[in-house]
Amino acid sequence: METQHKSGCTFEETQASIMMPVFDSLDALRGRWRLPILISLFFGAKRFTEISKAVSGISDKVLARELKELELNQLITRTVHNSFPPTVVYSATPHGESVERLVIELKNWGEKHRQQVIGKSS
Q: Where in the chain is the domain with CATH 1.10.10.10?
A: 32-118
Q: Residue 17: which residues within 8 A CB-CB, separation 6 or more?
A: 9
Architecture of the structural domain at 32-118? Orthogonal Bundle (1.10)
Residues 92 and 54: beta-carbon distance below 8 Å: no
Q: What is the pLDDT of residue 19?
A: 85
Q: Decide if pLDDT at 4 tops 90.
A: no
- Which stretch of DSSP H or E encloses residue 16? none
**85-107 confidence digits (pLDDT tens):** 999 999 999 999 999 999 999 99
**13-69 confidence digits (pLDDT tens):** 777 788 889 999 999 999 999 999 999 999 999 999 999 999 999 999 999 999 999
Between 1 and 80, whose confidence is greater?
A: 80
pTM for this one?
0.83
